[in-house]
A and B are shown apart, each in its own frame.
Chain A
Amino acid sequence: MKQFTTFLKKEFAHVLRDRKTLLILFGMPIMQILIFGFALTNEVKNSKIIVVDYAKDMASQNIITKIEASRYFEIEKAMMSAKEIEASFQQGIIKMAVVFPPDFNKDLLHQSTAQIQVIADASDPNTANTLTNYVSSIVQDYQRDLDKTSLLPYRIEPQTRMLYNPQLKGVHNFVPGVIALVLMLVCVMMTAVSIVREKEMGTMEILLVSPFKPIMVMVSKAIPYLILSLINVTTILLLSVFVLRVPVNGSIFLLFAESTLFIITCLTLGIFISVKTNSQQVAMLISLMGMLLPTILFSGFMFPIENMPKALQIFSNVVPAKWFYIIVRDIMIKGVGLSEIWKETLVLIGITLFLMAVSLKNFKIRLE
């Protein structure tokens, strides 16, 4: 035990004394979340939309005024045919079109129900989602106002159409993706380098000629990065909740528990790379090319897995980030509990145990 604590102390010293790396490690998640976050929110602000009002009655005018009042939209009123609207979308002039059918007010008063067509350019699904949600809530708001003055419940149904990407697949939310990405970067790359560094610096040569246990070296190398990564997860969550206003709908405790699991997966992956390689450069390259790219490509964070060829879909199953991304997305966005994500959790545990066993088995007790 005393041996283990000295190993641990030494590893903390390595991590904490390398100030530049430490700065990058803490700065990176903040940078990423802000870049991803603001690149997104800026687009939603002042989005160009057109309002096609075939009704030109009191109800439609009231709703339009409400939409105009919002700082999210830059609206233009025009009488366009369906074809002209389509053309505007294709030229990328507008992000959304809101169409009031003729007799909007009449339908509302006589049948208590009326429809608005909301068409959005979903090639940028995040923006499309935000814009349509916003319009829907404005419409609902108006509907509530009406209900107050009347005995009959009114219903205005926004008929939403997502152009180009009707199911909004791919980017549900980037925060889970950034968490996966940052953890992958920090944990895999840093641990991948750590054991190799001992080989390169020659300290492994001395360490081997001592009664140390490989498992002790591995665990003590992993723990500082585990703590560091948990701090990073906290930063990302704080930023996403308070700066980007992305809520955490599920249990925070569960989210942290799952993050810890994924961090351990990444750490063992890093250690595995470290055990198998002989130079820091190779370890770095493997963790970048071999781990980071698959994380971005196959986690479903940037590109929908469903659209990929079958072979790649099967391959995506061995990418730990894919499972973690599903878990975080489900906890954060859908707010589900462990009962819904136990399968993904089991897969992650399985991958982790497998990597641990393989790393221990491959740990070289000699120089060759």
Chain B
Amino acid sequence: MDAVVVQDLIKIYGKDDVRAVDNVSFSVKPGELFGLIGPDGAGKTSIFRMLTTLLLPDGGSATVDGYDIVKDYKYIRNTVGYMPGRFSLYQDLTIEENLTFFATVFGTSIEENYHLIKDIYVQIERFKDRRAGKLSGGMKQKLALCCALIHKPTVLFLDEPTTGVDPVSRKEFWEMLKRLKQEGITIVVSTPYMDEATMCDRIALIQSGKILSIERPEVIVNAYADQLYAVKADHMYSLLKALNRFDHTINSYAYGEYAHASFRGPATEHEVVEFLTSQGLANIEMHRIAPTIEDCFIKLLKNS
């Protein structure tokens, strides 16, 4: 039995009938690290809130651990762990008090499941008498993860756990998730950072409430059909405009200090450079690159 099964889930907000979640279906296998990848406003949080029984769906159905998210909400609340996108612990309680509180609410104790949080907790343990409101962003995330784990959940829902966290802490955080996976906990995580997608077993790319693709990250990357180039010139803005004007361009967009672009068959590298030079650009540099998840995402967006 899959840990999470989502069938045609729909969530509609407000009078304008905005479909924040539009016929979303996916399933997560037990012990899997599943990522929902998409920009802000894609509907990730709405999906999480429906799966954690905080919101009622306007259509479709879903089960977590075999329990229906509407009928059996009480069971789900007992078994899952949830870490909302916003830091949501008691700021005026200390680290230890927060942890004890959540352990007791779930009818367990810190000692009972200490092995689960040990790796994470030791990093913040020396601040255990500090109030949660006074912690740094990374420490807050670690504490929140501890609190979500303390009752040994079967499924862990992490809504944008790395947003607003520095790159080093982000990396650490994903390492922790990998270790938790080995404990057999199913993890559903969302993130707007495309580079984190490769850390997941499988990812669902989501945009405007619709899922564009569900696959293992490497499959998504390998499925990228066109040859992708990174192009650089002395003037970025003119370069992007010129690439847009070029007849054979399939796709072009800014990507860091480079522009990423793909071209239709007949155009060779040489022809591209020639065209750009004729448009008055100098210092043109161009080389083939392997696509990232973000490139795939942009391409999927364009196709849909």
Residues in chain A within 8 A of chain B (CB atoms): 2-3, 6-7, 9-10, 13-14, 17-18, 201-203, 205-212, 365-368
Contact = CB atoms under 8 A, between A and B. Distances in A.
A211 B106 contact: yes
Contact of A367 (B49, B80, B86): B49
A10 B93 contact: yes
A238 B31 CA distance: 65
Given A13-B97, A201-B88, A206-B82, 13 more contacts: A3-B104, A6-B100, A9-B101, A10-B90, A13-B90, A202-B86, A205-B82, A207-B105, A209-B53, A209-B80, A211-B105, A366-B54, A368-B56
Contact of B105 (A212, A366, A367): A212
A209 B88 CA distance: 12
Contact of A202 (B87, B100, B148): B87
A366 B73 CA distance: 10
14 contacts: A2-B107, A6-B100, A6-B101, A10-B97, A13-B92, A202-B84, A203-B89, A206-B102, A209-B53, A209-B80, A209-B82, A210-B77, A210-B78, A211-B107
Interface of B: 49, 52-56, 73-74, 77-78, 80, 82, 84, 86-93, 97, 100-102, 104-107, 147-148
Contacts of A211: 74, 77-78, 105-107
Most buried by A among B56, B77, B100: B77
Contacts of A13: 90, 92-93, 97
B6 to A, nearest CB: 17
Given A2-B104, A13-B92, A366-B56, A206 B74 contact: no
Nearest to A216: B105
Q: Is the interface of B mostly helix, strand, loop or mixed?
A: loop
A6 B92 contact: no
Nearest to B75: A211
B44 to A, nearest CB: 15
Given A3-B104, A3-B107, A203 B90 contact: yes
A211 B153 CA distance: 13
Contacts of B56: 366, 368
B84 A366 contact: no
B102 A209 contact: no
Nearest to B84: A205
B92 A14 contact: yes
A61 B105 CA distance: 80
B90 A209 contact: no
A210 B54 contact: no
B284 to A, nearest CB: 50
Contacts of A205: 54, 82, 84, 88
A209 B89 CA distance: 13
A308 B198 CA distance: 74
A14 B98 CA distance: 12
A264 B102 CA distance: 28
Contacts of B91: 201
A3 B52 CA distance: 22
A163 B171 CA distance: 83
A366 B84 CA distance: 14
Nearest to A209: B82
